[in-house]
């Protein structure tokens, strides 16, 4: 028996403003990028800026951000 089930499509959208430029402690970027950040990262000189992201399903309902990450957007 086969049953049709549509795949959910998830869409990530940026929310709010970019953060201030955050400099990595001791000049080590690896430690900063090792953090799990839900959102976009943008370089700014010696540091990085962050922007929060939200995730919507195909019906424009807010869902867990991890769904966008695991389904590749």
pTM confidence score: 0.55
Cα distances from 48 to residues 9, 16, 58, in angstroms, run 30, 16, 31
Q: Which residues contact 13 (CB under 8 A, 6 or more apart)?
A: 53, 54, 55, 56
**71: confidence class by pLDDT, cuts 50, 70, 90:** very low
Span 4-63, pLDDT tens digits: 666 778 999 999 999 999 887 765 555 555 555 557 778 888 888 898 999 999 899 999
| The pair of three-digit structure tokens given for residue 1, joined into one six-digit string | 């028996």
- Measured from the Cβ of residue 48, the count of other Cβ atoms closer than 10 Å reads 19
């Amino acid at each position: 028996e086969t049953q049709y089930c549509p795949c959910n499509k998830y869409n990530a959208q940026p929310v709010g403003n970019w953060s201030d430029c955050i400099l990595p402690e001791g000049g080590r970027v690896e430690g900063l990028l090792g953090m799990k950040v839900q959102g976009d990262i943008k370089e700014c000189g010696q540091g990085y800026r962050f922007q929060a992201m939200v995730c919507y399903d195909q019906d424009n309902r807010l869902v867990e951000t991890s769904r966008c990450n695991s389904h590749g957007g």
